Structure formats: C-alpha cells, structure tokens
Amino acid sequence: MSLCLQARQLACERDDRWLFQGLDLDIRSGEIVRIEGPNGSGKTSLLKILSGQLSDYQGELFWNGAAMKDVREHFLANLLYLGHAPGIKTGLSPLENLAWYQALSGTSSNDKDSEEQCLDALESVGLAGFEEVPAGQLSAGQQRRVALARLKLTPRALWVLDEPFTAIDRHGVAALEKQLVDHAKAGGCVLVTTHHALTASPLLRHIALG
C-alpha cells in the first residue's frame, strides 16, 4: 500500500497576484519534500492547499489517483498538519491537549491505553514530568514539542509541517530530523517548509517557489 498526493496545474492567486502557476507535483511514499522560497512566495498557501484547507485555487488535486473532493475524508484521516501556531491550548495541560487530538482521530480518551499512549508520546519529545503542568507555563519550544508529540501519538502517513523547527533547540532539531527520515523510510511521506538547513538525504527533494 503506497500513497501519493498529486497536483496538476496548481495555481493560486491572492488578490491579483499569482503566488504560483502551473505547478505539477507528485509526492509519494518514502519522500521528504521540502518547499523552498523566499518570504511571501506562497509556501504556507501551498501547504494549506495541499492539506485541503484552502479551497481558493485553480488546478486539481488527486489523492491516490482519485480526485481530492471525492476522497476528502480518507485524505484527512491520513493527514497530520502542523501549522505556524502549535494548536496547543495554554489553559490545558499537555496531557489534556493530546487527549483532544487523540479523540479527533477517533480514539476514546477514557481508555487506560490511550492515556498510556499520550504519556509515551510526551516522553518521546522530552516532556516527561510536564504532563500535568498547564501548557501556558511551558516555554514556546516546549509547547511546540507538545504539538510534535502528535507525530508519534496519532500515526498518519502524510505529514504536512509548516516550519516545524521553530523555537526547538539544537538537540530537538536533530531528533525531529531523524524522525522525519525514519517516517519516510517507513513508507510515510513528509511535506515540510523550513528555513533550517536539512541534512542531505537520498529521500529528500526540493521544490522551489517564487
């Protein structure tokens, strides 16, 4: 079973300015695709289009060969998107935050097992001992790590990550980079924008915008 996300003649116009035009993309299992371009070149817009958030584009999207609008549910069930903002509620503890995300993926948060999974995921991002601390008391980098814990907690084939390295320390960057490569090696696929220099890898390829 392999996955593929394809775009044909993708074009996005924001207020009379073409961000990009005639873009053809094939993103398949086992790839890390890095979207590059200067600020304002439409990287975030492209990620939002490819993750099904923006409907304001021309061209067509295909998920495993079927038109996106017909298989949207299946696509969303296999997508993990992390945006600029980490999506972490400062009023809730990391554990409660993850429990909600777990429930959105269809797992009941009452299970003993699912709590175990949340704890594991938090431990994997180096937040053991912070499970019950309100997320508002964590640093920006730690909040980002809570969001990154979702990569382990809710396994999805397609990761769409918008600047995931923001506010993460050097050690964390190395771990995350390894996680991306492992995911691709395991047959998953990663779409990422970052200003951080990624270590060269045969799995990595670049798409330049602007």
Partner 1 sequence: MWAFIHKLGSPKWFYGISAKLQPWFWVAAALLIVTGSLWGLAFAPADYQQGNSFRIIYVHVPAAFLAQSIFIAMAVSGLVFMVWKIKVADMAAAVMAPLGAAMTFVALFSGAVWGVPTWGTWWMWDARLTSMLILLFLYLGVIALRGAFTSRDSASRAASVLAMVGVINIPIIKYSVNWWYTLHQPASFTLTSRPAMPTEMWLPLVMMVLGFYSFFIALTLMRTRSEILRREANKRWVQDLVKDQVEEAR
Partner 2 sequence: MHSSLHSSSQQGPSEQGSSHRSDISQQISAVPLREYKGGLLIAVKATLVRDLTLLLRRRGEVLNPLVFFALVITLFPIAISPDPELLAVIAPGLLWVAALLAALLSLDSLFRSDYDDGSLEQLLLAPQPLAALSLAKVAVHWLLTGLPLALMAPILGIMLALPAGSYGVLALSLALGTASLSLIGAIGAALTVGLARGGVLLSLLVLPLYIPVLIFGAGAVQAAILGDGVGAHLAILGALLAASLMLAPWAIAASLRISING
* Binding positions for partner 2, rule: CB under 8 A: 1-4, 6, 8, 24, 26, 28-31, 48, 51-56, 60, 62, 64-65, 73-74, 76-79, 81, 83-92, 96, 99-109, 155-157, 183, 185-188, 202-203, 205-207
> Residue type for 133, please?
V
By the rule CB under 8 A, 56 interacts with partner 1: yes
Buried b (16+ CB within 10 A) or exposed e, 104-139: eeebeeeeeebbebbbebbebbbbeebbeeebeebe
CA distance 190 to 33: 6
Q: Of the two residues 8 and 14, which places its CB atom closer to partner 1 in the complex? A: 14
Find the shortest distance in angstroms from Cβ 81 to partner 2: 5
Find the shortest distance in angstroms from Cβ 22 to partner 1: 16
> What DSSP string runs through 134-147?
-GGGS-HHHHHHHH
Determine contact, residues 25/208, Cβ cutoff 8 Å.
no
Taking CA atoms, 147 is separated from 66, 81, 136, 152, in Å, by: 30, 10, 13, 10
By the rule CB under 8 A, 120 interacts with partner 1: no
By the rule CB under 8 A, 69 interacts with partner 1: no
Q: Of the two residues 56 and 111, which places its CB atom closer to partner 1 in the complex? A: 56
15 binds, options partner 1, partner 2, none, Cβ within 5 to 8 A by partner type:
partner 1
Q: Which of 14, 74, 178, 205 binds partner 1 (CB under 8 A)?
A: 14
